[in-house]
A and B are shown apart, each in its own frame.
Chain A
Amino acid sequence: MTTVSEHVPKIVTSRIGLDQSYSIDTYLATGGYVALRKALTTMTPEAVASEVMTSNLLGRGGAGFEVGRKWSMLKNSPVRYLVVNGDESEPATFKDHMLIEGDPHQIVEGTIITAYAVGASRAFIFIRGEFALGLERVQAAINEAYRYGALGQNIFGSGFSLDLVLHPGAGAYICGEETSLIESLEGKRGYPRIKPPFFPAVIGLYGAPTIVNNVESMSNIPWIVNNGGAAFASLGVGRSTGTRIFALAGHVNRPGNYEVEMAKMTFRDLVDSPQYGGGMRLGRSVKAFIPGGVSAPWFGPEGLDIPLSQDDVAKAGSMLGSGSIVMMDDHTCMVRAAWRITKFFNRESCGQCTPCREGSGWIEKMMRRIENGGGREADLDLLLDACDNIAPGLSWPPAQTTICVLGPSIPSSVVAAIKMFRDEFLIHIKEGGCPYE
């Protein structure tokens, strides 16, 4: 496989690293708001939507649904809303954080263009509450955009008007789920809504049809408008078009966010290339890795040769999810890693559905017991049984017993760890403790 293609454009990270990359002066000096002017003054909303459909941009939040198709499902209505999801909380995912702090105008421009394409007259950017600096930068960008005439009444004399409001979260992983995010934006507890049949595109914010898109998805829109959907679709392979930011973390020499062409390189290329991960820390070998956020089932070293494509990873039994890759070397305790992930889900379960609320607690307690040396061999079957109660069949994609997908995400790491490293669990149980301490 090719490792590095020089000709691949940086679509969403071109300004990251520039001095004051977040200011409107830098943004305008590097081609900012050209796409907005083009869209509003030379294209119809349908033409913009059509370019995005052609691009086959897959949503960059985690579910990977086609952005253009999502837009096309929006119900006709005099009032429609656009909500941008910047609540990035999937563990080990830190790409949106970088875009929010580093290039807020690109998100704002993508948002305005999207609002025009879907016919929204009011849009909200929901930013995770913990991103204090991000909140400052996005509000400053919105202030600058209004004064520049890119927001407010009659933008660039086109007749299109948009009010854009920044909304802070308050610390809840579940609010990244789009209906939970809508509830939170309405000033309520972040309880996901039951769907289908009424997705946000039909009944969303304040009961009106609503589009919820991720900030990285929005950041791609200006480039697509400037260069055309076909140019975007010419990058990547099959359904996985364009570029994507992969957030590489864990035991690599150079953890970081890397924007690469979709599907053109493998996990191994990304991890080993000196330009990206720079190989495993201390020259150690890969024991396992998480390919797409902690909701995703793990891969062993044999998974390293899978291309970074949504479909290839799905075929292998996991998902690209949020674009976060966590590398674990041969000195890692798999019980401890899986336990910590379960603890996270247990803490973040919103509590509406019994399998998720209770199941996550049971699994966390059993995992902790094993890690701390009080485990029993029968715990392994008990763990799998508890997991099966949350996601019957323990297959991938998981079956669902809960309102949202947080529940079925809980078993991913536990089941993977038991299947791949059963011996390691048994050593914990037999030796009465963690062999890695």
Chain B
Amino acid sequence: MSGFSQIMRRRAESLVELYPERRSALIPLCHLAQEEAGYLSEDMMRDIADLVGVTPAEVYGTASFYDMLHTEPVGKYLVGVCTNIACLLQGGGELLEHAEEKLGVSPGGTTHDGVFTLEEVECVAHCDKAPAVQVNYRFFGPLTDETFDELIDDLSVGKYEGDVPSHGTLIRVHREVGIEVPMEEIVAQRRESDAAIASRKAALEAAKESK
């Protein structure tokens, strides 16, 4: 195992720069580490410590507080079944039991092939679609035993490769701007946006009429 790759290290450094104090980047960097290594390996924790100016023990001590941060390897897909009150009332508890059977593991366990880790999760704020399931923090619901099986089967054959990326929650989050955006860019964006606004207005009107 090793720490951050060159590319990821640059992303990490740019995140550190966003904060008045380096330590604030600790949790975002943990997400980057999980995106790259799947979990917080010791090497990753050393790298993070180095980047934010604390000891690796402090990184571990902080990370162990948070549900999303894993200091042991987890599966490619984190399957979280919500059993909190709104989901419970719609069968979330029974869905979790079914998920245990389908995957052959208890909550916290990982399938032998290393593809799925099952978790019992707290409310994921998807309550109007209860019972809800999250896979690498992408939400699905309401699910039945049958549609849960379908979801797992589809994930197994790679059908969701595009929709459910690795469980680094920042994998598609990219800050593209510094505090000073050049004035030319701002002027260009305004010019573009004038045209774009006009076309969006027309599109929204058309959508309203067709309703």
Contact between chains at A136 and B84 (CB < 8 Å): no
**Contacting residue for A171 out of B52, B67, B83, B198, CB 8 A:** B67
- What 1/0 flags go to A15-26 for Cβ under 8 Å of B? 000110001111
Number of interface residues of B (CB under 8 A): 68
Q: Is B122 an interface residue (CB 8 A)?
A: yes
**Contacting residue for A92 out of B24, B69, B123, CB 8 A:** B123
* Residue numbers in B under 8 Å from A147 (CB-CB): 177, 181, 185-186, 189
Q: Which of A235-268 contact B (CB under 8 A)?
A: 247-251, 255-257
Contact between chains at A130 and B61 (CB < 8 Å): no
Q: Is A152 an interface residue (CB 8 A)?
A: yes
A187 to B134, CA, bound (A): 25
* Residue numbers in A under 8 Å from B203 (CB-CB): 19
- What 1/0 flags go to B168-211 for Cβ under 8 Å of A? 01111111110111000110011001001111110110010000
- What 1/0 flags go to A124-140 for Cβ under 8 Å of B? 00001111110110010
Contact between chains at A24 and B193 (CB < 8 Å): yes
Of listed B25, B54, B85, residue having the most chain A CB within 10 A: B85
Tell me the smallest distance from the CB of A89 to a CB of chain B, in Å: 7
**Contacting residue for B126 out of A94, A206, A347, CB 8 A:** A94
**Contacting residue for B28 out of A130, A146, A167, CB 8 A:** A167
A187 to B28, CA, bound (A): 9
Q: Is B62 an interface residue (CB 8 A)?
A: yes
* Residue numbers in A under 8 Å from B179 (CB-CB): 152-153, 161, 163
Q: Is B46 an interface residue (CB 8 A)?
A: no
A289 to B19, CA, bound (A): 43
The secondary structure that dominates the A interface is mixed
Q: Is B23 an interface residue (CB 8 A)?
A: yes
**Contacting residue for A129 out of B68, B84, B93, CB 8 A:** B68
Contact between chains at A250 and B26 (CB < 8 Å): no
Tell me the smallest distance from the CB of A159 to a CB of chain B, in Å: 15
Q: Which of A138-154 contact B (CB under 8 A)?
A: 139, 142-144, 146-149, 151-153
Q: Is A165 an interface residue (CB 8 A)?
A: yes
* Residue numbers in A under 8 Å from B204 (CB-CB): 18-19, 26, 29-30
Q: Is A290 an interface residue (CB 8 A)?
A: yes
Q: Is B18 an interface residue (CB 8 A)?
A: yes
Give B194's nearest chain A residue, CB to CB: A28
- What 1/0 flags go to A70-97 for Cβ under 8 Å of B? 0000000000000000001111111011
Contact between chains at A136 and B173 (CB < 8 Å): yes
* Residue numbers in B under 8 Å from A55 (CB-CB): none
Tell me the smallest distance from the CB of A20 to a CB of chain B, in Å: 8
> Using a CB–CB distance below 8 Å, which chain A residues touch chain B?
18-19, 23-26, 28-30, 88-94, 96-97, 122, 128-133, 135-136, 139, 142-144, 146-149, 151-153, 161, 163, 165-173, 184-190, 206, 247-251, 255-257, 290, 294, 324, 326, 328, 332, 336-337, 340-341, 344, 347-348, 350
| Chain A to chain B: the 4 pairs with minimum beta-carbon distance, closest first | A171-B67, A187-B26, A171-B68, A170-B66
What are 15 A-to-B residue pairs whose CB atoms are below 8 Å? A92-B85, A92-B86, A131-B125, A146-B181, A168-B31, A169-B27, A172-B65, A187-B21, A206-B21, A247-B128, A250-B85, A324-B127, A326-B89, A336-B88, A340-B88
Further pairs besides A135-B170, A149-B190, A168-B27: 15, Cβ < 8 Å: A25-B197, A29-B198, A29-B201, A89-B125, A94-B127, A129-B68, A166-B175, A168-B173, A170-B31, A187-B27, A206-B21, A255-B127, A324-B127, A340-B93, A344-B123
